[in-house]
């Protein structure tokens, strides 16, 4: 992993860079709204002080829902997503979360591989979950407790 990688809570000043990463990754996230939600956890990854990735999760009771994860193309396969997921897992364990849940496109082999390597297990499938393609979602979970 990049020695100069830092994970931190996102700031309002990060929004333009976050929007650029989301657009590059094909994600639609309302970052200003997420920053104002008490249940949202929005972290950024910086490599040599340049924002290169983000993770958004929502806390609901004793569950964390990983809703969006994006990494710039130039930083992919460099440990950024893994570091962001590790931060989420630490947060979950420190705050008594029981499980981390997520949905991922069944065709997203890199993401499925990443989550599998982090001990997430397939829980279910949601047929035709993604409206843009009609693709199924794979529901995955990581037990924390």
Catalytic residue numbers read: 103, 115
Q: Is 97 helix (H, G, I), strand (E, B) or coil?
A: coil
Q: Are strands 5-9 and 40-47 parallel, antiparallel or unpaired?
A: antiparallel
Asked whether the beta carbons of 10 and 29 are under 8 A apart, the reply is: no
Integer Cα distance of 7 and 20 in angstroms: 18
Question: Who's near 54: CB < 8 A, 6+ residues apart?
Answer: 10, 18, 21, 22, 42, 43, 44, 45, 68, 69, 70, 84
């Amino acid at each position: 992993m990049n020695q100069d990688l830092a994970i931190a809570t996102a700031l309002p000043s990060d929004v333009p860079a976050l929007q650029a990463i989301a657009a590059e990754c094909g994600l639609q996230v309302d970052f200003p709204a997420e920053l104002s939600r008490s249940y949202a956890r929005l972290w950024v990854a910086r490599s040599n002080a340049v924002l290169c990735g983000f993770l958004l999760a929502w806390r609901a009771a004793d569950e964390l829902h990983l809703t969006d994860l994006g990494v710039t193309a130039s930083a992919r396969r460099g440990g950024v997503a893994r570091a962001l997921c590790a931060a989420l897992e630490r947060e979950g364990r420190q705050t008594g979360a029981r499980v981390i849940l997520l949905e991922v496109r069944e065709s997203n082999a890199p993401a499925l591989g990443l989550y599998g390597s982090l001990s997430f297990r397939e829980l279910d499938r949601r047929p035709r979950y993604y409206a843009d393609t009609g693709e199924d979602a794979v529901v995955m979970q990581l037990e924390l407790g």
